[in-house]
C-alpha cells in the first residue's frame, strides 16, 4: 500500500513539472497572439516566409506575419501582417523579405519612408521586394562567368 502512495506522489510531481515546462516554453516562445493593426503587402515571391515570422523595423520586432494567400487574378502573394498599435508606418514605406544569414530565419523588414501621412489599418504597402532565390544566385555566379566564352 505504501508503494502505491509513493508512486502516485512521484507521478503527480512529474506531471506538475512537465506542465510547468510546457507553460514556460509556450510563454517564452512568443506564440501568443499579439494585438495590433493589419497591413497588406503583395510580393512576387515569398519563399521561406511563414505565418508567425517577425516583422522588423530598424532591426526591432514590431509585428508578425499573420496570413498568406495567392491573388488569383495577378498571381501575386498577398501577405497580411499585424503591427503593434504604437508603431505607425509612413505611406511611402517599403517592405522586403530578408533573412538572418545564409540559413537563418526569414522575416519582413520595413524601411520607413518620409511621408507625413501614415498607413491606416488594413492599408497596403505599395513598395515591396520579394525573396531572393539563393540557388539562382549561386547558379549565376558559377555559370554566369562561363557564358559568352567559346563563341570566337
| Residue-wise DSSP of 14-44 | HHHHHHHHHHHHHHHTT-SPPP-EEEEEEES
The pLDDT tens digits along the chain (152 residues) read 667 888 898 988 999 999 988 888 776 665 545 578 999 999 998 988 999 999 999 999 999 999 999 999 999 999 999 999 999 999 999 999 998 877 778 899 999 999 999 999 999 999 999 877 777 778 888 887 555 554 44
Any idea what the Cα angle at residue 128 is, between residues 122 and 133, rounded to 5°?
130
Phi then psi for residue 77, to 5 deg, are -85, 125
Amino acid at each position: 500500500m505504501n508503494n502505491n502512495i509513493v508512486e502516485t506522489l512521484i507521478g503527480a510531481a512529474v506531471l506538475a513539472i512537465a506542465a510547468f515546462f510546457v507553460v514556460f516554453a509556450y510563454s517564452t516562445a512568443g506564440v501568443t497572439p499579439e494585438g495590433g493593426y493589419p497591413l497588406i503587402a503583395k510580393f512576387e515571391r515569398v519563399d521561406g516566409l511563414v505565418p508567425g515570422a517577425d516583422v522588423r523595423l530598424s532591426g526591432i520586432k514590431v509585428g508578425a506575419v499573420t496570413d498568406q494567400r495567392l491573388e488569383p487574378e495577378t498571381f501575386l502573394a498577398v501577405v497580411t501582417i499585424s503591427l503593434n498599435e504604437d508603431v505607425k508606418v509612413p505611406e511611402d514605406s517599403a517592405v522586403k523579405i530578408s533573412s538572418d544569414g545564409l540559413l537563418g530565419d526569414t522575416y519582413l523588414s520595413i524601411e520607413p519612408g518620409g511621408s507625413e501621412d501614415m498607413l491606416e489599418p488594413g492599408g497596403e504597402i505599395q513598395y515591396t521586394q520579394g525573396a531572393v532565390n539563393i540557388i539562382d544566385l549561386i547558379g549565376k555566379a558559377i555559370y554566369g562567368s562561363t557564358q559568352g566564352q567559346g563563341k570566337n
